[in-house]
Structure 1
Amino acid sequence: MRESTDPLVATSARYRAFAEVEARGLSACYERWAVGIADDPQLVSLIDELPAAKRQPNLMFSAARFHGAPVGEYAPFAAWLPKHWADVAATCLTHATQTNEPGRCAVLLPALAALAGPLALIEVRASAGLCLHPDRYSYRYRFADSDSDSDSGSGSGSGSGGGDERMLHPVDGPSPVLLDCVVSGPVPLPERMPDIVWRAGIDLNPLDVHSDADVAWLEALIWPEHDDRRSRLRAAVAVARQHPVEIVRGDLNDEIEALVARAPAEATVVVFHTAVLAYLNETDRNRFAGQMTRLPVRWLSNEGYSVVPGVAERLTATPAESSAFILAQGSEPIAFTQPHGRSLHWIR
């Protein structure tokens, strides 16, 4: 479990870990805020009024921005937070870090396309379900170096570019959602979209793409400097509104078996998730892993180091970035990924 999400870790240590591992290089604002709070006993004491599970930096920062916190330096934020703490705390108590980043589909797609279809997709902790539409987005895969073209698979996809990039579009033409991803290693880039015939999700609190309040919360979960992600989110919401997907309300461990049973009998059932299991305790993570072994499914996880039982022990390579996620099929690691889907390094 990442230190910043571990409720057993002291608040100051959680915020320092978030600054040093997760925010560094990705959000200067959040890095400054997290370092500042780690060294600010007054604000640590304020945050400690929340239940331990609700003290995580990403949740509190998103709630603060949801209520208009000034983005930028730490001092203005530190002055703002106590004055608005009642609103921020209430949002922390009623909301969760349901980041629904469609860009993550770019690192999932090669693994999905490599499975025998047709596919039935089930995403656990699906939020608003934006990652349940990988076949409805366009992709631009850029090779990290000139040697990548020869070892990244031969598929170029419909509307493909040449040389240092490959394009892939839905069967009915380019999507308003274009996902960029830098690839390296022997990535099996697909020639066509996977055949997805059924899709559903599970979430403790499903978000509705037709709700302005829910979409506003999804935007608040995007880190301050990531304007491209905000634009992409809005475009993906528009796509999802045209293709309703059922998201079952409930705990992933309690609901997964019944949902798997509802999938079409002729389909390969794929259960997948990104940045989910870190928020479960060890008992619940092990229970979920056990169900994935027992049920007739293919299991794709995209999680932080040491989060999915058995995956880290099978690694034969080391990620270049400490913040990298590990994409795994079952307990077998197959790639390192950037947490928001910006890059994919295939290792299998």
Structure 2
Amino acid sequence: MSDRGPDAAAFADTARQYRHFAEREARGRSPLYEALATVVASDLEVLAFLQTLPPAKRQPNLLLAAVRHLFGTPTDGQDFRRRLMSGLAAVKRLMMERSTQTNEPARCATLLPVLARLPQPLALIEVGASAGLCLLPDLYGYDYGRVRIAAEGTAAPVFPCIANAATPLPATPPQVAWRAGLDLHLVDAIDPQKRTWLESLVWPEQTDRLTRLRAALDVACAMAPRIMAGDLRTDLAALAAEAPQRATLVIFHTAVLSYVVSQQERDAFAETARRLAGCWISNEAPAVFPDIAARAGRTAPTGRFLLSVDGLPTAWTDPHGAAIDWIGA
């Protein structure tokens, strides 16, 4: 920082991160978040504030959720800036305490075509499970347009998902004999404060998504899936050893490995998951496993995750579970 104030060059990486979020993630999904992230990317004072946080805590989703959680949803960029700058200490404290454990249960709609094809019953381990909402794929309903699967109960959410013609859609949900999750920071679905934080992570225009999240949290409260506190790099094998032998062990994760910075550690995790599991499902940004993405046969569609099964590129998916395009169509 110079005597004249914040130096734009010092914040280039963070500014680039927010521009990428605005243009590649929020565009077409959240006009407000696109606008707010664009404002942050060019505001030196806000960028200077973000620079006081560790790199992992500068994420757009975390900042935007923290401001909304504390001060409500802003109307525009100017209103956002006013709310943020008037409560920097509180925002920083919350961002340091919390993480972007989005725990979007609609992602189950993109996992279901793989899960239903495996030998049943299944033993599920979700890495980065948060409140465990994605550990309950057999209890939700799904609407793929040409195929509909009823929910286990009338109160359970039904997730809409647009699937291309090549996607092998199941007629029934998978049979789950055992389920457990692994996460560094456990989220209790019963805790009102933790629930409110998960709700704050839902983007502001997505009211239907918020309604479905609340319904899924109620299902999780009733089922209480087991979530073990632990690190994916060191504790996966111990949890996998508890899975029943009669079931197909499935280890899966969505939007988790991007938080493991080292590619060597990501690849080591992948090797461990493939060794332990009957099936390893990765649903991540294409850059997380570039070797897998290179075999997908095309450039990654903007804003899509790459779903791979045992290291084989299988489908392009919407990060929030709204669409799946089976590769090879």
Contact 1:185–1:347 under 8 Å retained in 2 = no
Q: 1:302 aligns with which of 283, 290, 293?
A: 283
Match of 1:323 among 283, 303, 308: 303
Quote how far apart the aligned CAs of 1:176 are: 2.7
Shift of 1:63: 1.0
Asked if residue 39 in structure 1 is aligned to residue 42 in structure 2, the reply is yes
The list of structure 1 runs, each at least 4 consecutive aligned residues, that deviate by more than 4 angstroms after superposition, is: 172-175
TM-score norm. by structure 2 comes to 0.93
Aligned with 1:134: secondary structure? coil
Q: Which blocks of at least 5 consecutive residues in structure 2 are unaligned?
A: 1-10
Q: Which residue of 1 aligns with 2:190?
A: 210
The whole-number CA distance in structure 1 between the counterparts of 2:175 and 2:211 is 27
Report the Cα distance in structure 1 between the residues aligned to 2:163 and 2:217, rounded to whole angstroms. Answer: 26
Could you tell me whether the CA contact under 8 Å between 1:141 and 1:180 is conserved in 2? yes
| 1:267 matched residue in structure 2 | 247
1:10 offset after TM fit, Å? 1.5
Residues 110-129 of structure 1 aligned to structure 2 (within 5 Å): 110-129=113-132
Task: Determine the C-alpha separation between the residues in 1 that align with 2:212 and 2:73.
Answer: 23
Instruction: Show the 5 A alignment for 1:148-297.
Output: 165-170=146-151, 172=152, 176-281=156-261, 282-297=263-278
Query: Could you tell me the percent identity over the aligned residues?
Result: 43
Q: CA RMSD in A?
A: 1.5
CA contact (8 A) 1:63 1:91 kept: yes
TM-score normalised by the chain length of structure 1: 0.88
Q: How many angstroms does 1:58 deviate by?
A: 0.8
Counterpart AA for 2:183: D
Counterpart in the other structure of 1:106:
109
Say which SS state the counterpart of residue 190 (structure 2) adopts.
coil
- Measured against aligned partners, the alpha-carbon deviations of 1:128-160 in whole angstroms (never above 9, x if no partner) come to 000100000011102xxxxxxxxxxxxxxxxxx
- The 3 A distance-change label for structure 1 pair 173 and 225 is closer
Cα deviation digits, residues 58-81 of structure 1 (max 9, x gap):
111111111014422101111221
Unpaired segments of 5 or more residues in structure 1? 1-7, 143-164
Is the contact made by 1:286 and 1:309 (CA closer than 8 Å) also made in structure 2? no
Please list the CA deviations of residues 94-132 of structure 1 after superposition, one character each: whole Å capped at 9, or x if unmatched: 111000111111010011001111100000000100010
- Say if 2:26 and 2:34, in contact at 8 Å, map to a contact too: yes
Tell me whether 1:312 sits opposite 2:293 in the alignment. yes
Q: Using the alignment, how far apart are the partners of 2:171 and 2:14 within structure 1?
A: 47
Would you say how many aligned residue pairs link Structure 1 and Structure 2?
Answer: 317
1:198-255, Cα deviation, whole Å (9 max, x unpaired) = 0000011110011001100100111111101110011111111111111011111211
